[in-house]
Every structure is written in C-alpha cells, then in structure tokens.
Amino acid sequence: MELGEGIRWTDRGIVLVDILAGRLLTAVGHPIDPLRQLAQLPVPLGAVAPVAGAPGTWIAAAGTGICLLTPDGSTRWLAQPEADAARPMRMNDATTDPSGRFWAGSMAYDADEGAGSLYRVDHDGTVTRVLDNITVPNGPAFTADGATMYLADSARGVVRRYPVDPETAELGAPEVFVTVDDGSPDGMVVDVEGAVWVAVWGTGSVRRYLPDGRLDRTLSLPARQPAGVCLGEDLLHITTARVGLAEPGPFDGAVFTARVDVPGRPSTAYRHDGSASFPGERS
C-alpha cells in the first residue's frame, strides 16, 4: 500500500484503507492471503466504521468530509466541512466511540501548521467541529467506558488525553499523555487494560504505553513508517506506508500481525437514531 491506515477490527472482519488511493480493503482468510478490495473512491479515504443495522454500509472520513458508502458502491455525503477551506484539505484518521458516535480528523495536504480539525458525527447524523488548530490528527482512540479520548497530533509529536462526557460527548480540558521525540505518533488503539498501542511513524516501531504514560514495551518492524494499529482479540495488526520514501524496502507498505498477551475489543459500529433511514438500513 502507498499509505496504509485506518485499520479496524469490526463485526465484519478486519478493514483498512490505502488513504491516498481511496481504497477500502479487508483481510479475509489466512493472514498471508491477499487483501480484498471492498470499494474505491475518487478521493482520499481516511477510515471507516460499519453502520449498525445497515449491512454493507460504512460511514467514512473521505475527501473533504463525511459520507456513507453503500453496498452498491454509491456515496451519500453527510457533510463536507473542509470543501471551502482556504487551503486544500483532506480527511485523515477516524473511529467510533463506545456509544457509536463517529469522530474524524482533517488535515491540509501540505500538513500546514494548525490547519486541521476534529469532527464528531452524532447519532442523528449531525457533523460538528469539536477541535481545531491540529496539524495532523491521528486516532482518536477511546477507553472502553468512553470517558477518555486519546488524540495524536503527529506533526507536533504529541498524544493528548481528553476527558469525555459519555452522555453528551463534550470534551474536557486536555493533558499531554505522551510526547515522541524520535518519530511521529500515528494510529492508536486501547487494549482491555487501558494501555495505548501507538504506531510511531519514521521509527519502525509500535509502542505500548501504560495509562500513566510510561512506556511498557516496543515492537520493532521491518518497515520504517508504521501508520495504523488495531487489536483483534490477542492479535495486533499494523499497517505501514511507502509514501515519501525515496527507496522503499520490500516490506514498506505491508500489513503486519503480531500476537500479544493483552487483547483488545472490536470497534463499535456507528449508531444512527435519526428519523430518516440511511441507505441499506433495516426498518
């Protein structure tokens, strides 16, 4: 893959994206089997989540906003908040929280300082900007109770921790969880012990940080740019990227799997409770 990210363990299996190519992929069968393409968009595709009650439908951070990908390959845009931005923008990483809201970050194509934002898609489909002045947002990742959100600003080398009101999804004041000096924190996932696995771009490593911010362990990879992580039970899946490398190695852009001793939970589906049905949604 050129820029493999957004890997998630869902009730529909492992899904991931090749962002700049706009490809949605799934891993099926044996781990060494080829990835299967589910969809391809004419715009960058940052990450997806399944839509509850709508088989084959995904909510996606794509292009300049949020859309639904339907089983027939068509798209329905919920909002495109970055379409009229002063500089060219695209969506980046995204995930659901435990209550089924969808959170997605945006960034400038040239990673302009502070140009990015974080958006939240509520259960009624409303898209709201909740944070700005982010350069390259990655994650977010949530604790199992939904009361804490981790968000990386990769270009600034920092992961921040935000308190979240699980009822209203309002964010409290952040604190710095981890700073990375030798690379860029990228995709993240929280395991059942509340520790955070972080893909560290540029270092060929994935690192597990305890809830107090201490580094617990480091997993080394034969690829320089780890970009996304997810936990499927006790298997840690890692995406990497070739983009920007003058001489990519044989494993740059590959997907890796490693067995770990602390499992994770499947990603939550996006839950829509509005009066209007999404395409493909069961009545």
Rounded-to-integer distance, Cα 85 and Cα 229, Å: 30
3-state secondary structure of 233: coil
Rg (CA), the chain: 17
Per the annotation, the verdict on 132 as an active-site residue is: no
Question: Is 242 among the annotated ligand-binding positions?
Answer: no
Rounded-to-integer distance, Cα 214 and Cα 195, Å: 10
The residues facing 218 across adjacent strands are 207
Find the length of the chain: 283
Question: Is 92 among the annotated ligand-binding positions?
Answer: yes
Tokens of 269: 């589906």
Question: Is 133 among the annotated ligand-binding positions?
Answer: no
Rounded-to-integer distance, Cα 205 and Cα 38, Å: 28
Q: Which residues of 24-52 are buried (b: 16+ CB within 10 A; e: fewer)?
A: bbebeeeeeeebeebbebebbbbbbbbbb
Question: Is 265 among the annotated ligand-binding positions?
Answer: no
Residue 89: CA count within 13 A, CB half-sphere: 25
| Start-end of H helices in the chain | none
Among 153, 148, 138, which residue's Cα sits nearest to residue 172? 148
Question: Is 120 among the annotated ligand-binding positions?
Answer: no
Residue in 97, 186, 191, 252 annotated catalytic: 186
3-state secondary structure of 193: coil
Residues 6+ apart with CB under 8 A from 229: 7, 187, 188, 189, 197, 198, 199, 206, 236, 237, 238, 239
**Annotated binding-site positions for a divalent metal cation:** 5, 138, 186
Residues designated as active site: 186
Residue list for the binding site for substrate:
90, 92, 110
Annotated binding site: 5, 90, 92, 110, 138, 186
